[in-house]
Amino acid sequence: MKHRTRVLVVDDSAFSRGVLSRKLDGDPEIEVIGLARDGAEALEKTRDLKPDVVTLDMQMPLMDGLTALRHIMADCPTPVVVVSALTSEDAKLTLEALELGAVDFFLKPSPSNPVGTNGGSEDLATKVKQASRVSAAQLKTMAYRSSRSQPGSRERRGRPEVGGKVAVIGSSTGGPRALCQLFRDFPDDIPSAMLVVQHMPPGFTRSLADRLDQLSRLEVTEAQPGDVLRQGRVLVAPGGFHMRVDERGRIELTREALVNGVRPAVDVTMESVARLFGADSLGVVLTGIGSDGVRGAASIRAAGGRVLVEDESTCTVFGMPKAVIESGNADVVVPLSRMAEEIIRTCKASRNCSVGDRL
């Protein structure tokens, strides 16, 4: 008989525990082996039951989710999927949990929305099964990297409006942690404008942009319609919107149909940048499930730009990077620890022209 993914469901709400348990048990490849009402009980049952995956609420009595996650990663490393409410506070906690080693997150059900707001039970089951494939050794490495990383200097120089590249960085599962590490490594004078497309629902991308802004020497904000690209500025695609660069070099946000099952989609942004900036476009594909980024990478290379891809050794999920590599559109494959260095090298090799000169 095929092994079923064994899950411990942790939530202080009896309603949420019941809904999540029923939805997960409804998948023939998943078995809920236990329930916990707070972080302390979660830690005890994780040690005793040794589940394949823990779904973990963030705000609980006695011991909150972040504290429980730290103990789990230190004492009995187990893949964790955070189950989060759609509030600004929960978004911040969720991003911190992803930095600490949680594999993924899911928007929790509520009485008014009993299947959750980002795709229903199928999405949760998929996330749980995907998380179960992350090894304990990889979890330890993820948690270690997060604990060793320190925020960059807050000093930011005035920057000229010149530079060579326009970089699009795409990621999905495991992306928030990877982005936090990557942006800590950037200097404040990188000759590039940057666009980040992370698969996240509305409400979470602003918290992600704020977190990256805190950690980085660069200016990071959630993109708004009409934003202008400039060197040293990073714009994060808002959840629920595709992000393009129009013919004037300004940000355009749309609610067009999902692409590759997601919105925002990496392909959409990369294709628009390739059309406008040609050989000065740079694509970067980090950890994530699926194949979003393949078409965009092909467009960038066809226009004369370059594509960098995260190596399997540091990916939480080697889906998007693998798809780009197999399509033949990866120029360079490097582990996350070397990605900032490779981006900087590529950007400095670009022609000495302003973004405005391309428009």
Catalytic residue ranges: 172, 199, 292
Cα separations in angstroms, 19 against 119, 236, 272: 15, 33, 41
Segment (H or E) for 323: helix 320-326
Distance of CA 138 to the CA centre of its chain: 17
Q: Is residue 258 classed as helix, strand or coil in its secondary structure?
A: coil
For residue 88, give both structure tokens.
């600004």
Task: Read off φ and ψ for residue 210, nearest 5 degrees.
Answer: -60, -40
* H helix and E strand count, the chain: 12, 14
Distance of CA 16 to the CA centre of its chain: 25
d(CA 202, CA 270): 21
CA dihedral 221, 222, 224, 228 (to 10 degrees): 40
Residue 137: which residues within 8 A CB-CB, separation 6 or more? Answer: none
287-319 exposure pattern, b = at least 16 Cβ within 10 A, e = fewer? bbbbbbbbbbbbbbbebebbbbbbbeebbbbbb
Q: Is 8 within 8 Å of 34 (Cβ atoms)?
A: yes
Residue 256: which residues within 8 A CB-CB, separation 6 or more? Answer: 242, 263
Tallying the residues shown for the chain, one arrives at 359
Q: Is 328 within 8 Å of 307 (Cβ atoms)?
A: no
d(CA 77, CA 46): 9
